[in-house]
A = this chain, B = another copy of it.
Amino acid sequence: MPPAMREGGRLLVVGGDAAGMSAASRARRLRPDVEIVVLERGRIVSYSACSLPYYVSDVVEKRDDLVAYDADFFRRERRIDVRLESNALVLDPRAKTVTYDHPGGTETIEFDALVIGTGARAAIPPLSGMELPGVFTLRTVPDGDAIRQFIEDKNVKNATVLGGGYIGLEMAEALVERGVTVTILELLPRVLSNYDPDMSRIVSRELMDRGVTVHTETKVEGFEKGACEAVGYVVAGGQRLPSEMVIVSAGVRPNTALAESGGLELGKSGAIRVDARQITSEPAVLAAGDCSEAVHMVTGRPTWIPLGTTANRQGRIAGENAVGGSRKFAGVAGTNVTKIFGLEAAQTGLSTRAAEEAGLAVDSARILSRSRSHAYPGGGPLTVKIIFEKETGRVLGAQIIGAEGAAKRIDTVAAAIYGRMTVSDLAAIDMSYAPPFSPVWDPVLVAAGQAVKKLGS
């Protein structure tokens, strides 16, 4: 059970991003009496990390648009004591204290309940030359500022993106939008490797069509200086590839230093272990967002899938439970979507490989349809793949890639996963139809029907 919060007690939140600020806001709504302090290492709270590639591309023109509410809003409107540039270092769960650095010195603060929302950081591969000017990661608003500035100052004409995950692909698009020629270097045999190979291939083709060079199974050895002081070459496979800028997008890692300083248990994933109420191994300490695990709806096992949606949800629940609530998190399906040039790519649940790794007997059905009625102009192809359990027909996952309408269609499958539906159930949902929005048989229904056929045979 979470701790009961005494009248006028203090909730301490570490981390001012989605999870932390959701926790603080939720706690304030439920408990006007408690004191709420947020320690944020940086100078900005509550920004949209998912919008950063669009800030780099200038689709999001104003930096202010990245921030939903600033620190002063939280201080003024929600009486949340937001302390910026405050870097939490040591947690003592017995004494219920956190020690933190701030521009004025070091301080120790007591808490009745603590929510850790320290998020994740960009993984930094151990490559020579990572420190060179022009080598960037993208995780924070200042990262976005620096990349924009560098492109403008140096009039960058070509760049390399390390990593073909969805953030890498979004960054490739952002740079192309800025007139930069982009090469993606991916260690694995394909980009977007959390998708099935037959689906990520659609994305590879789109990248090629847009003039992006993709080298897979390519191990980067390091970076070298060019004519100026900045990066000039990427060394990979014994070759020196000229590159005026490098974006390292090699995944993220949970920020667990504070949790570890207090001896909190980590899960197998390396993220902070929590129960369904977001409580860690210490009853007065909760964790939420990219630093913590969550239960996967399909496998029922702890997983670590850092996503903004999850951070918001877990944050709210942690905030509620930290001040005496007892709400449970329903878990994650890992639903995600991204825009890659003219494509939408969306995914929920398990991929075929992830399902196999979870020990499930898995089959799948893939169909090609269209986003609109054949009679109605516009729209385009839409490929839907449903992954299901061989014996029972239970929906385990889905991937949808196409010109339009992939993003919100995946949510229907996410609903089916939440409801533990079979492919027969999915095929029986009464979905909408009008020529501008869908063929009479929605592509998801066609895929589900195909799966039912395989199940019967």
Q: Is the CB of B337 within 8 A of A432?
A: yes
A236 to chain B, nearest CB (A): 29
A237 at interface by CB-CB < 8 Å: no
A-B contact pairs, 22 of them (CB 8 A): A48-B375, A50-B373, A54-B436, A60-B375, A68-B374, A310-B430, A312-B441, A330-B428, A331-B430, A335-B431, A336-B434, A337-B432, A339-B434, A339-B437, A348-B430, A408-B412, A408-B437, A412-B412, A415-B415, A415-B429, A418-B428, A419-B419
Give every chain B residue within 8 A of A333 (Cβ-Cβ): 430
CA distance A421 to B429 in the complex (A): 13
**Contact (A407, B435) CB under 8 Å given A68-B374, A415-B419:** no
Q: Is the CB of A435 within 8 A of B48?
A: yes
Q: What is the oligomeric copy number?
A: 2
Q: A411-B411, A411-B442 are in contact. List 13 more A-B contacts (CB 8 A).
A: A48-B373, A54-B435, A60-B376, A60-B435, A297-B430, A330-B430, A334-B430, A337-B433, A338-B434, A344-B437, A414-B429, A414-B432, A416-B419
**Contact (A431, B309) CB under 8 Å given A438-B407, A440-B48:** yes
**Contact (A432, B336) CB under 8 Å given A412-B415, A419-B425:** yes
CA distance A335 to B332 in the complex (A): 27
A381 at interface by CB-CB < 8 Å: no
Give every chain B residue within 8 A of A444 (Cβ-Cβ): 411
Shortest Cβ distance from A331 into B: residue? B430
Q: Is the CB of B411 within 8 A of A429?
A: yes
A392 to chain B, nearest CB (A): 16
Q: Which of A308-363 contact B (CB under 8 A)?
A: 308-310, 312, 330-339, 344, 346, 348
Give every chain B residue within 8 A of A415 (Cβ-Cβ): 412, 415-416, 419, 421, 426, 429
A272 at interface by CB-CB < 8 Å: no
A175 at interface by CB-CB < 8 Å: no
Q: Is the CB of A434 within 8 A of B337?
A: yes
Q: Is the CB of A440 within 8 A of B375?
A: no
Q: Is the CB of B308 within 8 A of A433?
A: yes
A127 at interface by CB-CB < 8 Å: no
A-B CB proximity, top 6 nearest: A419-B419, A415-B415, A330-B428, A407-B437, A408-B408, A333-B430
A96 at interface by CB-CB < 8 Å: no
Q: Is the CB of A411 within 8 A of B431?
A: yes
Shortest Cβ distance from A64 into B: residue? B375
CA distance A74 to B337 in the complex (A): 40
Query: A410 is contacted by which of B48, B432, B435 (Cβ under 8 Å)?
Result: B432
Give every chain B residue within 8 A of A140 (Cβ-Cβ): none
**Contact (A375, B412) CB under 8 Å given A432-B336, A438-B407:** no
A201 at interface by CB-CB < 8 Å: no
A100 to chain B, nearest CB (A): 28
Query: A65 is contacted by which of B331, B334, B375 (Cβ under 8 Å)?
Result: B375
